Structures are given as C-alpha cells and as structure tokens.
Amino acid sequence: MASEFIVECIDCGQQTPFSAQAQVCPCCGSSWREARYDYKKISNTLLPLLATRPFDLWRYHELLPVRSPNFDLSMGEGGTPLIRATNLGMMLGCSNIYIKDERQGPTSSFKDRQAAVSIATLKEAGISEFVVASTGNVAISYSAYAARASIKLWAFLTSLVPAAKMREVAIYGTQVIKVTGSYDQAKLVSAQFAKQKGIPMDTGARSISCIEAMKTISFEIAEQLAGILGPARPSSNGRSEPLRAPDWYIQAVSGAMGPIGVLKGFQELKQMGWIDHIPKMASIQTEGCAPMVHAWKQNKEIAAPVQSPHTLIATLATGDPGRTYTVLRQKMLDASGGTFESVTDEEAYRAMHFVAKMEGLSIEPAAAVAFAGLVKLVRAGVIKPSETVVVNCTGHTMPVEHSILGEGWSRDIVLSPASAGMEEVVEEGLLAALSKVAIDRFPRIAIVDDNPDVRRLIRRILQSQGDYTLFEATNGREAVELAHKEHPNLMILDLMMPEMDGFSVLEKIQSSPDTADIPVIVVTAKELTPAEKEQLHGHVQKLMQKGDFMNDDLSDEVRALLG
C-alpha cells in the first residue's frame, strides 16, 4: 500500500489525499499536481523487500497510487528486459547502449504501465466508465486492462491511426470513435464528451496515475543497470549508492508523459539515496511535428503549437503540447539537463530497419524515432562514446513493413502441381526453381580485422543486405595469403593489427600483379595523420571510420564497388 502518500498542487502547494476522480486541485483548480511519498521511510524499508518480489511494476507499489495491487487485473506489466545493443553500439562507437524492451509488455507498448496503474486506481475507486483520446497505443493498452476490469471504455482516435490499430482497440470491446481531424482535435472532442457525460477521462501527463506508472521504467532501469554494470562507483563522500542510473535516457515524445514520469522516477531514486545522479533526458520528435524541439532550441518556456502536423508517424502527432513542455523543460533543467532533438520520418524508418536487421528487434516507427535521435546525437557529439544510454523501445514493425521493404524482398518458387508417377519431372522443376533462389557464385569479399566482434559485425551487415561469399583473415599475414589463394572481389581491411598492419597488407597485395587489382575498403578506428591519409590516397577505394558508419553506408559502398 502506498504509505503516507499525498497529492500536491504545483501551482498553489495545496496538499490533498489522492482520489482517482478528483482531477484538479480543490483550492486553485490547477490540473498540475504531483504525488509525494514519505521517501525517508520507504527508502529504509523497500530495498531489502525488492529482492523478495517478482520483477513486475507492482514490486514498487509503495511508490504507486494504489491501495493494494490487484492481481486479478495484472497481465505481467512492467519487468521488461534491458537489452544490450551490441551491434548498434559498435556501429556508433558507443559500447554501453541499452534498449528498454517495452515491446514485451502485455500489448507491446510502454503505455501498458499507464493503463495497468490507471485502471487499477479506477477500479479501486469503483469507476465503471472511462474516456481516452489516443494516437493508438494508449487506447490499445487501456482497452486490454479495461476489459479485465469490466470498465467500459470510450476511445477517441484520430483518423490518422492505422486501421489495424483501430481494429485492435475495437476487438477488446471498446467503443471506438473515429475523429476525422488531428490528434489535438480528437483530445478536445473527447474532453467535451467526458464532461457532458460526467465520465472521468485520461488526462495524460496531468494524471497522477499515469506519471506514477511511468516512474517504474526508471526504477527498473536503475536496478537492471546495477545488475549488469554493478552499482555506481563510490562518490567523493565515500558513499556508494545501491542502484545505477544511465547517463542518458532517450524516448520519442508526443504528449511527453513518458519523459516526465521517467524523470520523476529518477528524481525519487536520487532523493532516496539509491542513485548518484539523474540522467540527461533526450526527447525526440519528428521534424513535421516538433513543437517542443523548436521551443527548446529557441530557449523558450512555452512551445508554440504546430497547427497541422506533417508526419507519417501518427503516434507522435501532438501538435500542441501545452504546459507539458514547460513542465518537462523545467524538470530537465532542475536535473541534469538533456536535450530535445528532431529527426525526419525517413531517418526513423531507416532506424526501424537497422534495429530489426542489426539487433533483431521489430519496433514501431514511433520507437524508431528515438533510435534515429540516438544516431543524430552521437554523431553530433552530444552523447559521448563512453556514456551509458538507455533507449525506450515499443511496438512492432508489422503495420508499416510494406513501406520499408518495397518490392523484391522475397524470391518466389512456383511449383506446378505434382503429377503421380512423374517424380523426376517434379525434381527437375524443383532444382530449376531452387537455382533461382540462390545463384552459384556470389561476389567474394575478404574481411580482415584482428577483432572478432568487428569481423562478426561486418559479416552481419553484408549478409543482411545481399549475397556474398565471405572470407575472414585475423591478421595481416593471413590477409595476404587469403588474397593470393581466394582472389576476392573486394577486401575490407582494418589498419591497426598486430604482426603486419593494414598499410603493409596494402603494399604487399598491390605490389604483386596477382592481387594488385583487388579493390579495398579501409575500415579503421585509427585517427589518421595527414601523412597516413596521403599514404592511403590512390591505394584504397574508400576509407571509413569505425563507430561512424551505419550498416547501409557500408553495404552501399560495397554494392557500388562490386558494380
């Protein structure tokens, strides 16, 4: 049970007990309030209890606005894995990138936390109907939990929401109201409806339950990072906090409930002495709907609304963030700072594809916006290679796979109907069909690098983009031998290797008529001196810096060189 829990108005300071029905301050009418707990008491008792509890969001129920967790409503919300993004980290030159895999929530989005906690508080308050406006995921999550709680849900969805998502909302028994208009308009209509009917509604970042639910993302990350990396190093006062915060937390934003809740979570952990710092927040929007990014870059406290968002990513189409931006900005400034950044839809779709190909995760475009933001911030030097980064990840590629893959992503086998007694003919047809699936001779590429992880990464990049016969050499001497023996069509060469370095390999293969014509792409982590660049000039077809190329960059070069 949430002990000593009170709601405080951020405008007049009035403190009141929590009520799921009361959505504004009784004193000044402000809808901006925050939950406060007896952190001292909780910090003394909760940590040892955590070790005895299942890894779901209810393990933190002392810090949630529910009287007691209702396990009849639960579907295993929270407790999602924190996955190391090894390949992505290598491509970006950052070794500590982690993905908070919210796809593994009951309806595959981080909004399951919001719905689970909100619906639990509504159930405790005896509420039987609820209204929500959504760009898809919120309505899906609420619908699932409302079904379990026997609460009737009215979901106002902007007509931009993909049809597959709308149907998912309906299938849970929710009444879908399709609003032909923007998300901001859908919110206004739903608020009017809720008021008219006297039904409570989801108030997004102004809802105590929602913000409190999002905090659990931070609690889990801090526990998981401490498990993976160990607790933070003792600070100057000799104290070592038991949990560990990342340097950055990255999330795509629309209404900004996620970042506000996550920041509050880290603030509470800091206040309880469980972490030594609050992470920097990177909130990412799409270029066609980036009111918060514009305001942040102009150092403004208030975001000017974007009247007509232009983005394919409807999930993130809040054109008017209202005071949410101001609240988030202040929280960031009070903590460790951070930034707002925007990316194009195209960058997001590319990110979606490389996260699938390089990390094995199928994510939705809105989540890919956060990954595209990560790439942009690393390249701009805002995120440093040594920093620990956590990226929030949600959804599934399914609704948009057709637009990423385009044509030609499959090879077809068409078999004529088998005829009895004609096995040889059938087998012949099969062989002919299979010969089209994979041609006999692929371009041959030698990968030369002493680091097995780099060889594995390059192998993965090439194999996920085309058909190649790949050879590997682990040092310069092997590379020269390989060049003579296999005569590859292309060599991808590291420079810094023991025994014989890349410069000597180049010299050797290019001085032998047998191997002089092999094109070479140098992929190196070395900061080259002007003299070294000069030495390579005219001898290599392309020079690429490790940690500064994405999968497509390398495969584009390879394809261009192989013709």
Ligand X SMILES: Cc1ncc(COP(=O)(O)O)c(C=O)c1O
Residues in contact with Zn ion by CB under 5 A are: 9, 11-12, 14, 25, 27-28, 30
Burial class, 5, CB count within 10 angstroms (exposed 0-12 / middle 13-18 / buried 19+): buried
Residues 6+ apart with CB under 8 A from 336: 277, 278, 279, 280
Identify residue 493 by its one-letter amino acid code: L
Q: Which is nearer to ligand X, 355 or 366 (CB)?
A: 366
Please, which of residues 298-317 interact with ligand X by CB under 6 A? 315-316
Q: Are strands 33-36 and 6-9 parallel, antiparallel or unpaired?
A: antiparallel
Q: Please identify which residue in 108, 203, 216, 394 interacts with ligand X, judged by CB under 6 A.
A: 394
Say if CB 294 and CB 304 are below 8 A apart: yes
Identify the CA nearest to 312 among candidates 284, 275, 338, 346: 346
The minimum distance between CB 34 and Zn ion, in angstroms, equals 11
Residue 189 CB neighbour total at 10 angstroms: 15
Q: Which is nearer to ligand X, 250 or 522 (CB)?
A: 250
Distance from C-alpha of 394 to C-alpha of 80, rounded to nearest angstrom: 11
Q: Which is nearer to Zn ion, 22 or 312 (CB)?
A: 22
Instruction: Say whether residue 361 binds ligand X (CB under 6 A).
Output: no
The β-bridge partners of 322 are: none
Q: Which is nearer to Zn ion, 28 or 430 (CB)?
A: 28
Instruction: Say whether residue 252 binds ligand X (CB under 6 A).
Output: yes
Calculate ∠ Cα 335-340-346, nearest 5°.
150
Q: Which is nearer to ligand X, 138 or 554 (CB)?
A: 138
**From 92-100, 253-261, 303-311, 458-466, span contacting ligand X (CB under 6 A):** 253-261
- Which does residue 333 bind out of ligand X, Zn ion, none, counting CB within 5 to 8 angstroms by kind? none
Mark 99-118 with x for binding to ligand X (rule: CB under 6 A) and - for no binding. ----------x-x-------
Residues 6+ apart with CB under 8 A from 377: 250, 282, 339, 341, 383
Burial class, 301, CB count within 10 angstroms (exposed 0-12 / middle 13-18 / buried 19+): exposed
| Residue found by looking up tokens 């030698």 in the block | 446
Instruction: Say whether residue 137 binds ligand X (CB under 6 A).
Output: yes
- Which does residue 315 bind out of Zn ion, ligand X, none, counting CB within 5 to 8 angstroms by kind? ligand X
Mark 364-393 with x for binding to ligand X (rule: CB under 6 A) and - for no binding. x-xx--------------------------
Q: Which is nearer to Zn ion, 28 or 398 (CB)?
A: 28
Which residue has its beta carbon closest to ligand X? 258
The minimum distance between CB 324 and Zn ion, in angstroms, equals 18
The minimum distance between CB 157 and ligand X, in angstroms, equals 12
- Which does residue 137 bind out of Zn ion, ligand X, none, counting CB within 5 to 8 angstroms by kind? ligand X
- Which does residue 9 bind out of Zn ion, ligand X, none, counting CB within 5 to 8 angstroms by kind? Zn ion
Q: Which two tokens stand for residue 322?
A: 């209202």
Distance from C-alpha of 252 to C-alpha of 256, rounded to nearest angstrom: 8
Q: List interacting residues with ligand X (CB under 6 A).
A: 109, 111, 135, 137-138, 252-258, 315-316, 364, 366-367, 394-395
